[in-house]
Copies of this chain bind each other. A is one copy, B any other.
Amino acid sequence: VSLKVTKQCNENNNKKQENNSEASHNVTPLLLDSWKPYKGTRANVKERLLKLRDCLESVCGIQWYGFATLGILTAVLSFLMDFSVAKLLQAHLWLYGKLEGHILLQFLCWTLYPACICAFASSFSHNICPFSTGSGVPEVRTMLSGIEVPHYLSLTNMFTKFLGLTCTLAAGSTVFLGKVGPFVHLSTMLGAYLDRLCRLIQGKKKDAGTEMMVVAAAVGVASCFGAPVSGVLFSVEVMSSHFALRHYCPCFFSAACGGLTFHLLSAWSRDGETLQALFKTNFPTATPFFPLEILLFALLGLLCGAGSRFYLFCHRWILKFTKTNRVFLTMLTTEKGLYSGLVVFFLALLTFPHSAGQYLASKWTTKQLLTSLLDSRQWSSQSHNASVRLELDSLEWSSSGAPIFLSLAFFLLMKEMWMLVLACTLPLPAGYFMPVFVYGLKKALEIKKGSLIVKWSYWPMSFFAKVLPKSYFLVGAAAFSGAVTHTLSPALLAVELTGQVTHAVPALLSTLLANALARSRNGLSFYDGLSISKKLPHLPSLKKACPQLPSTPLGQVMGVKSVQLQKAAGPAEVQSAVSNSSEAQIPVVDSHESQVFLGCVLRSELLLFLHRCQTQRIEGRLDEVCSIRPNSVVVSPHNTVQEAYNMLSVAPAQTIFVADRGKLVGQITWSEMKQILVGLAKDI
């Protein structure tokens, strides 16, 4: 029976894989389907592919090819998306430019184009795969902590997410959402698929590990910006409590492949000869910054931290509002497309270049904004050409110095923050990291102005005249986005994006201070807020929201008693245990009275035992036929949920048993743990 079951399982697997890819079809062991044509050719091809597999395996493990493929494919996806988004944006601006003189037509073009695109993306992703909306990072974090989240790794989801994200990005500056989060999710889905493929090629049938997913998290960030090191750091940070060192090299390898491919593709597409930093900067290398400026950077970090708390407060408020307000709730549940269209239309109204948009640099895309803010050469030339009010401010500041500008800028920033928060409610596949990064840049501009006032009154002019504003944007962006997401990798990302290693230390310091402020008093990060609002079983988020929760004793939250067998069980008891339990291991006790835990027995052995009993018509005893495996880890019901969780993370067989004074109480697998965490999440 057991053989049959595994065979069936295997065949199912094969069929799935065949549908998905041509390559895997050929690599699977020879199928003896006589009705298929070209038997000889197929056999020939298969033999060669098997030889190729052996040849590949002799160099290094198949999974390493998987890591390389993951990196390269994600980078190609990232490049394709950038390319198509750029074309769509160009088309929009071209149309807008052609309608010059017809204000009404221009207005319709400006507002309806993004509104239609977003409405389409929203209803498309809702209809094809409703799980593809949002950033995906909270779900990826939950999956990385070992808990399965169904529907989030399907290929349908991947294609929906890819198309939806392209549409969202094509909406341009109106909905200035990013692509980091969705890309992490995309690469996770790709990674899960490649993982299955690798295991099929290797002929292994063991459960999927989280290795490919950890790697995929690193690749997502690395391929998005061609920044491998910050990708790996991001991957370390999203892990729940421990980063396993065996994932370290795969992460770096895959991220390096992804980063390299992304750089090569961008270099070739631009007909450029060389590989450069994504956002070229040319800060003078001789005098990057002065020692005393460190204090200003630290102040900037603290201000960004305070700003992030306000931003997170607004975000949580609107999350709650959309969940409790009846109008929003009905719209978000039934008319997602309409809601997206209306919100984007409203945002487009605000950003229309002939209305308030002139103050918002709305004609520029996120990427252009970043480039212009970070590049000192283009500084003066571009700010005069384009209708960029903000940049102009900073130039004119020294001449006018009136506080009107300050209040105006403040007003704009506040409004923009609300726009950003509103955009976050859109049911679209979208990332929230990049807008936060850009917002941080603008915030830094604000603070830079503040510091300019300070400079005016207190410190000697000559010293601060040399101070470069761009470094403040860089550091401010890193600090703000780091504080919002409770991570430190943005500091390194800022360095890798711009190629300015000299600013690594100030960026790091600023991000650390901002993080300290953002994390104080159990502050929730952006992703924690989303996790809790979605009631995801993610322990670190729960811990932040309610610190005493993970200290709950295991005994209080454990579910129903699990199936168990006694040592002397006969076929009837084994039969009922097998049909009642779906676990791979079933615990064995001394007797149902004493309940002393002995070990566990594999499900496959039990099936074999039943099979033998049926065919040979004998009444065997469990301990005479099957081997009871005693190598298991036991905790007591008085251990806390957090402790059990930690144990489960490192337990050899992904199962721990719970016994009170030698007596078996139950067992905990990841699915049990998931139920416990879902139960805990409900209480918040």
Contact = CB atoms under 8 A, between A and B. Distances in A.
A18 interface: no
A245 B245 contact: no
A592 to B, nearest CB: 15
Nearest to A241: B245
Nearest to A634: B634
A288 interface: yes
A636 interface: yes
B294 A260 contact: yes
A630 B245 contact: no
A298 B15 CA distance: 39
Contact of A492 (B229, B277, B291, B629): B229
A285 interface: yes
Contacts of A275: 288-289, 291, 502, 505
Interface string A264-291: 1001100001111100101001111111
A290 B263 contact: no
A596 B286 contact: no
Given A273-B290, A634-B659, A650 B652 contact: no
Contacts of A285: 276, 280, 282, 499
Contacts of A280: 285
Interface stretch (A94-102, A509-517, A611-619): A509-517
A68 to B, nearest CB: 11
A505 B228 contact: yes
A273 B287 contact: yes
A58 to B, nearest CB: 12
A599 interface: yes
Taking chain A's interface residues, is the majority helix, strand, or loop, or is none over half, making it mixed?
mixed
A647 interface: yes
Given A249-B515, A273-B287, A236 B243 contact: yes
Interface stretch (A118-126, A332-340, A638-646): A638-646
A248 interface: yes
Q: How large is the interface on A (under 10, 10 to 19, 20 to 34, 35 or more residues)?
A: 35 or more
B256 A661 contact: no
Interface in A646-681: 646-647, 649-652, 659-663
A597 interface: yes
A599 B661 contact: yes
B512 A252 contact: yes
Nearest to A638: B631
Contacts of A631: 553, 635-636, 638-640, 643
Nearest to A246: B241
Contacts of A512: 249, 252-253, 256
Contact of A596 (B629, B630, B662): B662
Contact of A647 (B268, B505, B633, B636): B633
12 contacts: A228-B505, A229-B229, A229-B504, A239-B245, A242-B242, A249-B512, A252-B512, A590-B662, A597-B661, A631-B639, A631-B640, A634-B634
